[in-house]
Amino acid sequence: MTHLHMEPEVSSIRVYSAPGGYEERRPYDGIISVSHLTNWFAYVHGAVGKIDRATYTAALNMLRDRGVTTVMYERRGRMKTIKLEAKT
């Protein structure tokens, strides 16, 4: 018998203009793809749509709340790394 285990390695952060957008199946305004390289290290990529600084900060906070401490992303052809500070 074969025993399988699957890890959720890629997730999507969808951006809505109002609360309840996902539950009501509204079209999203933006989306950010996240590849979880480890439990604490994530690669953020594929941001499309209305992604402003406030949205990006909220996405980083969401990742921090889920235990991510380091985020890597590409900006203007260069790889960047962010250490997420613990909330106080």
Q: Say which amino acid occupies 39.
A: N
Q: Is 41 a member of any domain?
A: yes
Residue 61: count other Cβ atoms within 10 Å of its Cβ.
12
* Domain of residue 31, CATH code: 3.40.630.30
Whether 40 is covered by a domain: the verdict is yes
Any domain includes 3 = no
Residue 48: domain span = 10-83
- Rounded CA separation 38/30 (Å): 25
For 1-40, what is each residue's pLDDT tens digit?
Answer: 898 887 779 999 999 999 999 999 999 999 999 999 999 9
pLDDT tens-place string over residues 36-87:
999 999 999 999 999 999 999 999 999 999 999 999 999 899 999 999 988 7
Tell me how many domains the chain contains.
Answer: 1
**What pLDDT score does 4 carry?**
85
Residue 17 lies in a domain: yes
Tell me the whole-structure pTM to 2 decimals: 0.83
The rounded distance, in Å, linking the Cα atoms of 11 and 46 is 11
User: What local confidence, expressed as pLDDT, does residue 12 receive?
Assistant: 95
Would residue 30 count as lying in a domain? Answer: yes
| Residue 1 domain flag | no
Residue 4 lies in a domain: no
